[in-house]
Amino acid sequence: MPMDSQPPLRQVTVDGVVFDWSYQFLTPEAIEAFAAKRLPENFNEQRAALMNGTFVNISENRTVSHVLSRGDQSVLRDGHDARFVRIVKKLRSGNWLGATGKPITDVVNIGVGGSDLGPLMTSFALREFASDIQQHHLNTHFVSSMDGGQLYAVLPIVNPETTVFIIASKSFGTLDTFANVDTVKVWMNEHFKRVGKTEQDWLEHHVIGVSATPKKMTEYGIPPAHQLTFDQSVGGRFSMWSAIGLAIATTCGVEVFRRLQEGARLMDEHFASAPVTENIPMLMALCGVYNREERNINNLAVLPYDGRFRHMPSYLQQLDMESNGKQCTATGEKIDYPTGPLIWGGFGPNGQHAFFQHLHQGYDSFAADFLLVLHRAAKRFLPEVQESLADQQELSVANCLAHRKLMAYGSDDGTARNYYPGNNPNNLIALKELTPESFGAIIAAYEHKVFTQGLIWGLNSFDQPGVELGKKIAEKTLDAIQGRSSESFDPSTDALIQSCQIGVR
């Protein structure tokens, strides 16, 4: 059944976030019926348990507490961990001095997955809200990939004497992160030896640890005053609200971090109380399940039309795919129905000149989430420039709305060349203005969408057993590459291992 060609307006507005689901197949009546059919009977209890931190991640035998980390257990709450605020203020004011007495100018966050993507996305999106009265300029850099590619770019532009490295790792043991940390250690030692400082000297001034495993931070040599902790019950991909968000706060300030948490908290309240046809996360979840199950759409394109949201597709990939890309129920039974879709996407305006051709006229169906900011104040610019930037904002809105409509409704003038099949459902998430609150609200909405879909599909959205086997095989492969074993894998792998061994070391 194609979409209704003149769909009635369906919008829910919550604290500056306009969620438009007019271009979905389901009507409000159909959503109610679908919710009655697909939501588990105990949905309300499970949702309440998520909100009060008693929901249980069965396979890891721990509760789930990311919602509390932006509420009662926030690092910004008095008495919880004033250390977070102290560290941020000291760095942002220029009062944090390195081992040779120079103020810190650069912060490098080393982490991967949830210890990288949320801080990276949010620091990038909210950078312009960093308070203008900040006298001391602090640059932020992110290093995640095990290949060292990002270190190649960052190390030459930072000064060891004025750089702090945040080692962000819930487990404080992730191989990728420690591959980068090891290289940084060699680089720092090499420099500080020349200026008469020991490893412990620079460790005390240039490293902050963020982890749910404080013992390992201590073993590593990080002084307790530079350790920030969070609870094991905060899942990695849900952790940007916790101490893992340190790089957000060092980039944008404590006040922006507080406002971000506040926006998320308002979305929590909305999710906990709004009726299903006015509940943004539940509408996202139910339309998504319907598209997956009834329309066989196996993917969701995340298409932000604002450069500040550039890192959102990668963040949502982890949030959704690591949570719900599973074929096993929370209680261990094999699943024979489709679960979480593939999440992909990219910056919309650039996508128009890259992959939109396929979306408009290619063979595959897709669902999409368009993200848009309706107004952007450009206060820092002269009036003429402000006007020109406002025109650009309108240009972006126009393009987003046009492509969104064409993808949903298609076009057909009777020629094959000009046939646009359409029928691809989408949501539009529009912010009246980007603020830390509205940004926090969108991210919390996605978290709750993932949670709701996980419950519908009977999954445990809070573990990730699937990423383990690949890591184990990689360890064996590394043993072979570095000559610790002579294991043979398959002709292709063996040949590549050999080529690697004849490298340039």
Q: Which residues bind ligand F6P (CB under 6 A)?
A: 111-115, 169-171, 174, 177, 236-237, 322, 464, 467
CB of 168 to ligand F6P, least distance (A): 7
Q: Taking the CA atoms of the chain, what radius of gyration do you get in angstroms? A: 24
Look at residues 68, 459, 43 and name the one whose alpha carbon lies nearest to residue 279.
43
The amino acid at residue 156 is P
Helix (H, G, I), strand (E, B) or coil at 143: strand
Look at residues 244, 372, 354 and name the one whose alpha carbon lies nearest to residue 308.
372
> Residue 62 or 295: which CB sits closer to ligand F6P?
62
b/e per residue 176-194 (b: at least 16 CB within 10 A): bbbbbbebbbeebeeebee
Please report which residue ranges of 207-339 form alpha helices under DSSP H. 214-220, 246-252, 254-273, 280-293, 312-316, 323-324
Helix (H, G, I), strand (E, B) or coil at 431: strand
Question: How far apart (Å, rounded) are the C-alpha atoms in residues 481 and 479?
Answer: 6
Question: How far apart (Å, rounded) are the C-alpha atoms in residues 146 and 178?
Answer: 8
> Residue 113 or 340: which CB sits closer to ligand F6P?
113
Question: How far apart (Å, rounded) are the C-alpha atoms in residues 383 and 249?
Answer: 31
Q: Tokens for 267?
A: 């979305």
CB of 154 to ligand F6P, least distance (A): 19
> Residue 174 or 452: which CB sits closer to ligand F6P?
174
The DSSP bridge partners found for residue 56 are 63
Catalytic residue among 190, 471, 476, 487: 471
Question: How far apart (Å, rounded) are the C-alpha atoms in residues 142 and 181?
Answer: 12
DSSP state for residue 425 in the 8-state scheme: -
CB of 63 to ligand F6P, least distance (A): 17
> Residue 146 or 390: which CB sits closer to ligand F6P?
146
CB of 242 to ligand F6P, least distance (A): 11
Taking the alpha carbons at both ends of the chain, their separation in whole angstroms is 61
**Within 13 A of 382's CA, how many CA atoms are on the CB side?**
2
Q: Please identify which residue in the block is written with the tokens 């095990």.
A: 146
CB of 240 to ligand F6P, least distance (A): 10
Catalytic residue among 262, 322, 437, 447: 322
CB of 322 to ligand F6P, least distance (A): 6
* 322 catalytic per annotation: yes
> Residue 17 or 112: which CB sits closer to ligand F6P?
112
User: 97 and 105 in contact (C-beta within 8 Å)?
Assistant: no
Catalytic residue among 37, 353, 379, 472: 353
CB of 113 to ligand F6P, least distance (A): 3
User: 373 and 392 in contact (C-beta within 8 Å)?
Assistant: no
> Residue 118 or 160: which CB sits closer to ligand F6P?
118
> Residue 237 or 449: which CB sits closer to ligand F6P?
237
- Which of the residues are catalytic? 322, 353, 471
